Amino acid sequence: MPSLLDVVRNVVADFAPEELPLVAALGHLPPDEVGKRLADGTSRDDPLGFGMGEVVALVTPVVWTAVQQVVNHMATSAADGMGTRVRDRLIKRRHRKAPGTPLPRFGPAEYAQVASTVGEQAVRLGMTPERAELLSHRVVDELRKLEPGDGTS
Amino acid sequence: MTAAPTSQLSRADARALGSPTTLRFVLLLLLFVAGSAALSGGIAAEFADPADNTLGCALAGGLNPDVTFRFDAFTGIDDAAVRACWAHYVPDTTWVPIVVVPTLILLAVGLYLVLPRWKTRRSRLLAPAQVDLDGRLCADLDALVAEAGLRRRVRIGVDPGALTAGAVVFGTGRHPVLRLHSGLLVTRLTDRRRFRAIVLHELAHIRNGDVLVTYATVALWRVFLAAALVPSAVLAVYNLVTGRSPAAWHLSSLPAYQLIEVALIVVLVYLSRADILRTREMHADLTAVQRWDVRPAELVHEHAPTGRRAFWELWRTHPSWSLRRRTLVAPDALFSLNASAMFATGLIADIFAGQLYSLAEGPSLIYQALSTAAVVVAIAGVSLWRAVRYAQAKGKRPPSGWGTGFWLGAGLAVGELVIAGVLGGGWLPPHPEVLAILIAVVMLLAAWTAEYVRLPVRAMVVGLVPPWLALAFVLTWWRLLTPVEGLLASGTNVLSGLGVSTTHPPLLVEITATLVSLPGADTSFGGLWWAIPLLWLVPLVRWEPLGPRRIVRASLVGGLAAAAGLFAARFAIADAAAELSLLVIVITAAMLGTAAVVGARSATYPLLTASIASGGVALVATLCVSSVFPFSLLEFSTGYVFGPAGIACLGAAALAHAVRPRHGVRVPTTVRRPRTVVAIVVSVTIAVLAVDTGHGTAQARRPVTASVVRAAPEPSARTLELQVDAWVRFGGGNLIERIDAIGDTTFQNAIAEAGSTSDPAGTLSAACARLGSLTDDADRLFPVPIAQGRRIWARIVDALDSAATACGRVRRQHDLTSFLAADDDVQNAESEVDTLLGWMGPVGVPPGTKPVVVSLGEYQSLVYRGVTYRFAAADVSVRPDRTATVNVAVCLAGAPPHVTVVGGPPSAQSWRLVFPNGIRVAPAKPPRNADAPLYPPGNGAAFGATGDCAAGLVPFDIPATEHGAPAQVEFAHPSEPVLVWHVTSHDTDTLGTAREIPGGTVAVTGYSILTGRHRVATITVACADRPATWSLLLADGVTIASNPSGSHDCGGSIRFDLPASDRADPVEIDYNSGSTNLTWLMTPPTQ
């Protein structure tokens, strides 16, 4: 089963191949930390840094965070029946897993959610709506490859 | 490219264009080190001396905390005695900074080395090879490092979590680390030139040596913050909330000022560091552009965001993109004189100087001034140098230096306000206007530097030496006399030294006396007055553009005019005491006039030309009159003429230049260089200075300098209380106990033993040895805070001295009768001690305390400095011989653990007997060998533990004018009662009152007086069960003994035969059993 990293890498290779070194770098981080770093992606006022404000419009964080959000949501729903503490520990353990952890199976609702999140984020980053839609389709396509019978590449 | 002028300048004068930011970093580091030393010392002192004996000793030595400012407060303080007291009562904490500072530096070094590892681990740096998908990333980076030509090996890592297209360098100076954001890897594939520009910008930081200074500052700052600033602030807040240590000082503002200082340091360090780093960023941009052909547009995009609000920009370590863009086009910003940077430099330098000052006062003053001035002048001088050179290269008008000097001086002035507050308390010093002098001096020196830089000189350091030493000269004077706290140069000592009347001295003589308050009074080498002549000697090296002929002409005219004036005045004024001021006034006037004329006529170099010309005037005039005026006088005037007058000339020139007519002035630009004249002027000046300085050094500081005195402020009643209490606690009490012990015990025992021993001389000599160092100790003790007390103490010292002399005869000549003389002397000393204690009053009571009136026999509490005492007056007995005794007791009720109770019970002299008409009677001299126990006990008993009591009788002599019974007993200060016991008719012995006596009671139940041929009084007494003497006191003071035929039995009556000649009525009935004296008051007799 492919992992989130595989999905992102495939989409990026197709959609923004110049970001592949970035994906490779993110692959070395624990997944929960990737989420955190991507969430506060703004630069800091480090002494002897190059300076603030050089935020680049990137596809990678859009795809990664959108899929990660849906996965997190699914994990939370699945664990809803358990006690809060057990659930939190399960979710934490899941996040600590290696980047190659296979993704869960998505349903139509999840696909729709991923597509809309990716679309919104991409537009916010400055992509044209057409290109943003193309990207969201590409992500959903990549995720659909996970469905049984659809085969994996 | 627009950077061309800069690079040309760099080649021409690389040092001149070196950035002063490193110096500013150095200033921050100095502040951290001096600050941690001073703050840790302060904290240690607070913990080591919780009872604040430091303050106690100073109070005992005469410190006057009523005066908010330090120098006034310490006026007249007995320094040697205070230091001796500190050595005895205050734990030595001077070692703390010596240990703490190296420890903090080691910690900072450790942090500096550990920080890079921690940063590397935190950002999970990857090796470039781990993300080198196209196999060319590593090669590209290697090529860029090679292109930058760095001598150090640079470690490169990729921060996977940083999505921005940026990079950072960190690490240590020797092992820098370049951290590439993973977003930059994307930029490398989309915009290779941009990638290259960013990496080279970071490599420029490494090349410019930014890593070492930045992270050394970070490490030292964090250690300084955690180990010195935060604890110091916490302590200040604690003191502020609890009002602990400053309570005795009345200095409520002290901890607040400490907090302000800490806050100011934090803000200043942040702002300065940010400002310095912003400059370094622009330099890194410039380095990349100039050295490695990075195009400005590659570094700063056209569409890069513009700046935030100016206020927030101040806190950022990066300049706004718009400023970076502008700087790359024209690097004006890097060469401009930044007002805020100058202000911060002045302020930080002054706080640094303040920390140095609180570490060590006194002889190191000159080194403190030299180091402070060195940093200030180096930073401002390099900035000015760069600005002038840059303006010259760009063909712009060079800066005048006035603004730079103003902001620098303003920084120093604000720093002085803070320091005055921290050291002395109070919100504003008494004379803040004097700060204008400091600002003016710095402005003049900055303007001088700016003019000097305009000369075609190469060596920057030579040009910075005169302003450096001149500023140190002024700062030494400033620190020594702190004019901001009020300088009262009373010339009384000078005048009396000159044999002149001090009441209405002639004006010139008064000026002479006042001169001693000016810098230049100290003509020794350490006085630094010779720094001012450097201001005109150094420019002589390149004085062609200044118009040498005009200067020489002006010097000769001014100098000869001054000499002529002095010759004339010398014959006109015969007063020797006025000669010094005459010399100084005439020469200074000629100098100022010449400076103004020359300064007004010079378009470009008013200060330099005026400075040289006025120096020439001083030189010519001094040489001309040297044969007429005494050498010593000339030498003494040197400091003023060449020192402050030289600075004043700069001011005169600047003023004249500012208001000069703006036409018709042409300055010759090409003049033959008169080498001979220069050589002669320089040699003669140096010879004169050398002779003077050598002579001055030999004399060190002359007596006139030492005679700068301040009017000692009068201490308030409250301060006197504090000082007296401190005097008793820190030495006085101990000495008094020693005197009492020798007088009451040692000598008496020796006399008793001498009668029964075979070696009486040996016994007495041994007792004499106990006198030991008492006389010396009494002589060395702090002066008694009260003027009358000092006279009494002098008598005590005399008496002890006399006793010691007599004892000497006992030892050497075995003259036993001398011992009696010694004993008499000691008894005299003891008696004087009692008088002294009477003057000093109780142990100390807050002023304005309302006395509580209670009845006899009740205890009253008195809390003083945390120690609670309980006082009681038990009863009053008035004897027929017109003496009275009050039975008193004083107990130590409790003291907090940190308070040491020194000395015995309060003196008997504090008690008063008050009669109904308001007459107060002080205790009488206690009779020697009195049967009854006298108060205070003469065995030197000291209060050691809670519950310790002293009790006994205080004797009084009743004045002949008083016929009634005492109305009150007071425990009093010389001026006001503190505790009052009311002698009610019930409590005293009115008729019918039964009194306890050992073994029973006694009462007078009634009396009758029969008048007729014989006047007979009969009293009826109850239970007088032992033989006793009864007597009657008549209103006119006559005492009548009882008729021996009267019955003394319980319930009997006693008869008195009143003399027919005396018509006075009886007022008291007295009972004396040998051990008990009782008195009953008689109400008007029933006829």
**CA-derived radius of gyration, chain B:** 42
What's the 3-state SS for B587-635?
HHHHHHHHHHHHHHHCCCCHHHHHHHHHHHHHHHHHHHHCCCCCHHHHH
Cα separation, B959 vs B9, in Å, equals 98
Residue of B nearest to A43 (CA): B164
> Strand (E) positions, chain A?
none
Residues of A in contact with B131 (CB under 8 A): 21, 24-25
Q: Could you say which of A28, A51, A52 has the minimum Cβ distance to residue B160?
A: A28
Closest Cα of chain A to B102: distance in Å? Answer: 27
Residue B360's pLDDT is 63
Cα separation, B748 vs B767, in Å, equals 9
Q: Is B135 exposed, middle or buried (0-12, 13-18, 19+ CB in 10 A)?
A: exposed
Contact call for B218 and A26, based on CB within 8 A = no
Residues of B in contact with A24 (CB under 8 A): 130-131, 133
Cα separation, A122 vs B558, in Å, equals 83
Residues of A in contact with B201 (CB under 8 A): 50
Encode pLDDT of A65-96 as tens digits: 888 888 877 777 665 555 566 656 655 555 54
Contact call for A49 and B130, based on CB within 8 A = no
Hey, of A54, A56, A64, which one would you mutate to test binding to chain B, going by the most B CBs within 10 A of its CB? A54
Place of tokens 């916010």: A124
Among A121, A100, A48, residue whose Cα is nearest residue B317:
A48
Cα separation, B360 vs B383, in Å, equals 31
Highest mean pLDDT among B109-123, B407-421, B1012-1026 belongs to B109-123
Cα separation, B179 vs B407, in Å, equals 39
User: Looking at per-residue confidence, does B1057 or A56 come out higher?
Assistant: B1057
Hey, of A33, A48, A52, which one would you mutate to test binding to chain B, going by the most B CBs within 10 A of its CB? A48
HSE value, Cβ hemisphere, 13 Å, CA-based, for B933: 9
Among B176-190, B663-677, B974-988, the least confident range: B663-677
Cα separation, B590 vs B297, in Å, equals 61
Residue B991's pLDDT is 63
| Ramachandran sector of residue A126 (left: φ over 0; alpha: ψ -120 to 50; beta: rest) | left
Q: Which two tokens stand for residue A60?
A: 């990678």
Encode pLDDT of A43-52 as tens digits: 566 888 887 6
Encode pLDDT of B396-417 as tens digits: 888 989 999 999 999 999 988 8
Q: First vs last Cα of chain A: how many Å apart?
A: 10
Residue of B nearest to A31 (CA): B161
Confidence tier at B196 by pLDDT (50, 70, 90): very high
Confidence tier at B464 by pLDDT (50, 70, 90): very high
Residue A14's pLDDT is 87
Q: Measuring CA to CA, how many Å separate B1016 from each of B1019, B1039, B1052, B1054?
A: 10, 14, 16, 10
Q: Is B727 exposed, middle or buried (0-12, 13-18, 19+ CB in 10 A)?
A: buried
What's the 3-state SS for B375-404?
HHHHHHHHHHHHHHHHHHHHCCCCCCCHHH
Going edge to edge, which strands form the sheet with B949-957? B859-864, B867-878, B883-894, B949-957
Q: For the whole model, what pTM was predicted?
A: 0.69
Among B845, B839, B804, B843, residue whose Cα is nearest residue B825:
B804
User: Looking at per-residue confidence, does B197 or B162 come out higher?
Assistant: B197
Cα separation, B365 vs B347, in Å, equals 19
Residue A152's pLDDT is 42
**ipTM computed for the complex:** 0.86
Cα separation, B548 vs B560, in Å, equals 18
What does the DSSP assignment read for A137-149? Answer: HHHHHHHHTTSTT
Preceding peptide of B936 cis, ω within 30°: yes
φ, ψ of residue B719 to 5 degrees: the values are -65, -40
Confidence tier at B988 by pLDDT (50, 70, 90): very low
φ, ψ of residue B163 to 5 degrees: the values are -90, -5
Tell me what the mean pLDDT of segment B326-353 comes to: 85
Residue B714's pLDDT is 66
Spell B645-682 as b/e; 16+ CB within 10 A means b: bbbbbbbbbbbbbeebeeeeeeeeeeeeebeebbeebe
Residue B467's pLDDT is 95
Q: Measuring CA to CA, how many Å separate B445 from each of B27, B345, B375, B475?
A: 20, 16, 14, 13
Q: Could you say which of A25, A46, A51 has the minimum Cβ distance to residue B160?
A: A25
Cα separation, B702 vs B695, in Å, equals 11
Residues of B in contact with A28 (CB under 8 A): 124, 126, 130, 160
Tell me what the mean pLDDT of segment B1011-1019 comes to: 68
Contact call for B318 and A45, based on CB within 8 A = yes
Among B278-292, B811-825, B890-904, the least confident range: B890-904
Q: Measuring CA to CA, how many Å separate B984 from each of A17, B987, B994?
A: 109, 5, 15
Alpha helices in B228-338 (DSSP H): 230-242, 253-292, 296-299, 310-313, 321-329, 332-335
Residues of B in contact with A19 (CB under 8 A): 186
Confidence tier at A153 by pLDDT (50, 70, 90): very low
Contact call for B316 and A42, based on CB within 8 A = no
Encode pLDDT of B731-785 as tens digits: 888 888 888 888 877 888 888 887 778 888 888 888 888 887 888 888 888 888 8
Residues of A in contact with B161 (CB under 8 A): 26, 29, 33-34, 36-38
Average pLDDT over all residues of chain A: 76
